[in-house]
Amino acid sequence: MAEIAELTAQNTIKLPADIAAQFRAADRFVVWQQGDTLYLKRITPPAVLDRVAEAPAEEPLALDEINALVHNTRHHQNLRE
């Protein structure tokens, strides 16, 4: 079902309520345009970023842990390609 979004005077796009309800206010999107079509795709950061963000500032991740996270992330990305 197609619905109408509105570009406000503040250059924000107001989404229909039932579509907006599927997202959180903090969600981020990549946006691109092709002709008169505008595309929005929600950016979903890799779960590894949660692990890094959860590390206490007083106890930063060890270099070995960081290397393992990077290695695992790259490995999983290569499997998807």
Are 36 and 15 in the same domain?
yes
Domain contains 25: yes
Stronger pLDDT, 73 or 15, i.e. the higher one: 15
Interatomic CA distance for residues 6 and 30, integer angstroms: 18
Is 79 or 41 the better-scoring residue by pLDDT? 41
Residue 1 lies in a domain: no
- The answer as to whether 67 is a domain residue is yes
User: For the chain, how many structural domains are there in total?
Assistant: 2
Same domain as 32, residue 17:
yes
Q: For the full predicted model, state whether its pTM sits above 0.75.
A: no
Domain encompassing residue 60: 48-80
Query: Does 52 share its domain with 31?
Result: no
